[in-house]
Amino acid sequence: MSLQFRDKKKRWPPSKPVQYILSCLLVVVALAVLIGWLYIRFVYTEPTPENTSPDSTITGEVELGDTSYCLVIVEDVGYERFALVKTVPQDTAISVTPLSPTFETKDGVLYALLKKYGPAQTAQFVAQALDLPSLHYVSFSITDVENFFTRLGENLRFTIPEDISYKDENGATIRLKAEEHKLTPNQIAALLRYKQWESTANEIDLTARVVTALVNQCLRPDKSLKGYFELLSNTAVTDLRIDHFNAYRSSLEYLASKNDGAIAEVTSSVNE
């Protein structure tokens, strides 16, 4: 018969009240440890520099994008118009340069290139002719322009450079003085179709002046830049995509914050 050694005293689990007391003590100890760790963490740990924002540099300044170029095209046959937008965030500057439809490249004049190759290839011809690193494009028909301003929901403050008169869709004569107006979408479309300018320069510069007025009026901190981009994408033919907008958004927001109503300027036309 094998020998077995057993503790003759029976051990019973603690009573319920004792169990509750032990549980409470454990909770109190755990809380004390947690509070002590948090105190040490936030009081004695050196704060890290706040430089994790994707739109900020180490110095806290906005990280600005490089100079960019975009060719704005009105592509109706017989009414071809071109304007080159140059954005330089580092200089807080936007310039809009008119390009004549007869601007000469090694491949031909602009209006003929547009008719033969379309806006995308025409933009490449302009980039090569002006030795630009890259060039986006936005192309509208005049109907697209009218639709854009209709959906924009506000008239355009624009100074007409000379007195003009034209017939509206009902045959009525419309006269506009050489002064600032708040142009309706229909009036903007009529200007783009207008052919009786006394000054050829006023006709060539028109699209650049419309683009400049639009930028100065709408590139504001209280406006929705993403909303404008979506409107542009839905009314124009363009190679600009949402990834381009996102990459340049901080620069656009910076320029909007600096816009005093005249951030964009029309520059001299490029020689034909």
For 7-16, write each residue's pLDDT tens digit. Answer: 444 455 555 5
Least confident segment among 61-65, 227-231, 262-266: 61-65
R_g over Cα of the chain: 33
Instruction: Tell me the whole-structure pTM to 2 decimals.
Output: 0.76
- Going by pLDDT thresholds of 50, 70 and 90, the confidence category of residue 21 is low
Nearest-angstrom CA–CA distance, 232 and 108: 29
Structure-block tokens of residue 117? 């190759």
Alpha helices in the chain (DSSP H): 16-44, 110-117, 119-129, 142-152, 185-193, 200-218, 225-235, 242-258
pLDDT score recorded for residue 1 = 40
Are 75 and 119 in contact by the 8 Å Cβ rule? The answer is yes
Contacts from 237-243 at CB under 8 Å and sequence distance 24+?
A: 237/119, 237/138, 237/139, 237/140, 238/136, 238/137, 238/138, 238/139, 239/120, 239/123, 239/136, 239/137, 240/70, 240/136, 240/138
pLDDT score recorded for residue 268 = 84
Nearest-angstrom CA–CA distance, 143 and 146: 5
Residues 6+ apart with CB under 8 A from 207: 72, 74, 81, 82, 83, 98, 192
- Going by pLDDT thresholds of 50, 70 and 90, the confidence category of residue 38 is very low
pLDDT score recorded for residue 4 = 43
Least confident segment among 2-11, 46-55, 198-207, 224-233: 46-55
pLDDT score recorded for residue 73 = 98
pLDDT score recorded for residue 229 = 96
What residue type is assigned to position 112 of the chain? A
- Going by pLDDT thresholds of 50, 70 and 90, the confidence category of residue 118 is very high
Closest CA to 151 of 216, 83, 79, 218: 218
For 88-107, write each residue's pLDDT tens digit. Answer: 999 999 999 999 999 999 99
What residue type is assigned to position 59 of the chain? T
For 43-60, write each residue's pLDDT tens digit. Answer: 444 443 333 333 333 324
What is the share, in percent, of the chain residues with pLDDT greater than 70? 76
Are 124 and 161 in contact by the 8 Å Cβ rule? The answer is no
Half-sphere exposure of 213 (CA within 13 A, CB side): 19
Q: Mean pLDDT throughout 110-138?
A: 97
Closest CA to 245 of 28, 65, 49: 65
CA dihedral 213, 214, 220, 226 (to 10 degrees): -160
pLDDT score recorded for residue 40 = 44
Average pLDDT score, the chain: 84
Are 250 and 62 in contact by the 8 Å Cβ rule? The answer is yes
pLDDT score recorded for residue 46 = 42
Over 60: is that where the pLDDT of 188 sits? yes
